[in-house]
Amino acid sequence: MSSLDMSRDVCALVPGLQHWLENALFAVRVVDAAAPRERDSRRVLLATEIGHATHRDILINLVDGAPSLVTAANGLPARVAFGLEDMGFAFALIAELARPAAIPAVGDSASARLMTLAGRVARSEATVLIQGDTGTGKEGMARFLHTQSGRTSGDFIAVNCAALPETMMEAMLFGHRKGSFTGAANASEGLFLAADGGTLFLDEIAELPIALQAKLLRALQEGEVLPVGATHAVPVNVRVIAACNRDLATECAAGRFREDLYWRLNVMPLDLRPLAERPGDIAAIAAAMLLRLSDMGKDGFVWPTAAALDKLVAHAWPGNARELGNVLQRALVLRDGDRIDAHDLHLAGAPRQQGLRIVSPEPAEPIRLRDVAHHSKLEAIRTALRETDGHRAAAARKLGISERTLRYRLAEMRELAAA
């Protein structure tokens, strides 16, 4: 968590801001604007309290007109002005202005709990397995784990296993000696040794061939790698974080992934939910993206309207954060006015369903035993999802089924709800 001070007057004027900031992973302390401050502290103050502000602070002002953002410059603090209609997005924007670069943008309470857990995991030396759909932020989580660990003086090396040429995978991961194969004019240390003392992030770990999985297992167990063409292993001190957009337990059951490697990687599992299942994150991620995409020198910061934000939250986001970034970038270019409105978003597809509702009609014929069993299974799924706060991977483990099977059952539930 990052610390952030708020003046008492800000708390009185916009009481919901503190709750939002706490969901956004800030440890908030309420202070008097004139109170002595700690070195490098950052405060959220009213615009009228500018006399107590430094260039690191954020000034807010409630206005009746259009919202605005003036970023920090020339020794002056950032200034955010907004009305009641834009308050929801303004809270997200304030959080993103204060957020350290190494901490992912979150605003959902469930995501805050996951990031708190991840912070504890980061301080250990345990191997981590991050699972989640494409675009849910697996690399951002891996970078967070690295920056919160004791390995920040070492490098963070990220590699997408799916992008490695299969014939070169072993040499790229473990290194090779000069002349060990055709074209090896020079020796190479490999990615494991490049990350020595730091963190190696292996994305799309399921794409590794079975033979190479055995060598990765040995590297993890023994703390050493054998470069191609070498006769002696080289010790290496690396923390491995692996990620996958498929259910690795299912891959093991299908014989496509070594079970012993799965258990070696799955010491500290972290499961990232789809963006549509964490609506509080949508405003946070949108604010972070718009801060990055807006041309502050030309048009200034472009605010979404409340209607646009509502439409973003209601969307199903099959492409997760990557899709959100594309939608916002397109809206910035194609918008009709000074702000991004709902019709500027050009969202394809139906909005996400607001929960699942199963209606059991009166049977026109006697209830069959198989129907009772089927509906009992669906009720068990609903209970498991409720007890795990909608966490699909945790619910699947609780039910003793794979996450893929759970997705099939959820699709059945949606069909029943739509019938």
pLDDT digits (tens, 9 = 90+) for 107-163: 998 999 999 999 999 999 999 999 999 999 999 999 999 999 999 999 999 999 988
Pair (247, 125) in one structural domain: yes
Contact 105, 118 (CB under 8 A): no
Could you report the per-residue pLDDT of 267-284, keeping only the tens digit for each? 999 999 999 999 999 999
Half-sphere exposure for 211 (CA within 13 Å, toward CB): 4
Q: What pLDDT, on a 0 to 100 scale, did the predictor assign at position 362?
A: 38
Q: Are strands 234-235 and 224-225 parallel, antiparallel or unpaired?
A: antiparallel
Q: Which two tokens stand for residue 52?
A: 């107590």
Q: Which residue has the higher pLDDT, 92 or 188?
A: 92
- Do the Cβ atoms of 236 and 224 come closer than 8 Å? yes
Residue 361, in any domain of the structure:
no
Last residue of a domain, one of 70, 103, 136: 103
At 229 the pLDDT is: 77
Let me know whether 264 and 293 are in one domain. no
Is residue 245 located within the same domain as residue 134? yes
Same domain for 49 and 157?
A: no
CATH number at residue 298: 1.10.8.60
Q: In terms of domains, do 192 and 325 share one?
A: no
**Residue 414 sits in a domain of what CATH number?**
1.10.10
- Residue 358 domain flag: no
Residue 363 lies in a domain: no
- The verdict on residue 255 lying in a domain is yes
Average pLDDT value for the chain: 85
Say if residue 65 is in the same domain as residue 28: yes
Residues 241 and 341 in one domain: no
Residue 165 falls inside a structural domain: yes
Is the same domain home to 85 and 113?
no
Same domain (yes/no): 45, 147: no
- Do both 152 and 219 map to the same domain? yes
Residue at a domain's end among 103, 124, 155: 103
- Residues 81-97 have pLDDT tens digits of 999 999 999 999 999 99
Last residue in a domain, options 103, 122, 154: 103
CATH of the domain at 65: 3.40.50
Straight-line distance from the first to the last Cα atom of the chain, in angstroms, rounded to the nearest whole number = 45
Of 30-44, 53-67, 172-186, 313-327, the range with the lowest mean pLDDT is 172-186
On whether residue 359 sits in a domain, the answer given is: no
Domain that holds residue 384: 369-418
For residues 49-58, average pLDDT: 94
Tell me: do 253 and 120 sit in the same domain: yes
Is the same domain home to 236 and 320? no
Q: What is the pLDDT of residues 398-408, one digit of tens each?
A: 776 777 777 76
Distance between CA 407 and CA 396 in Å, rounded?
9
Q: pLDDT over 90 for what percent of the chain? A: 62
Band of pLDDT at residue 328, cut at 50, 70 and 90: very high
Quick check: 394 pLDDT over 60?
yes
Rounded CA gap, 84 and 63, in Å? 8
Which pLDDT tens digit goes with each residue over 330-384?
999 999 899 999 999 988 765 665 443 333 333 444 434 344 445 556 667 777 7
pLDDT score of 264: 94
What's the total number of domains in the chain? 4
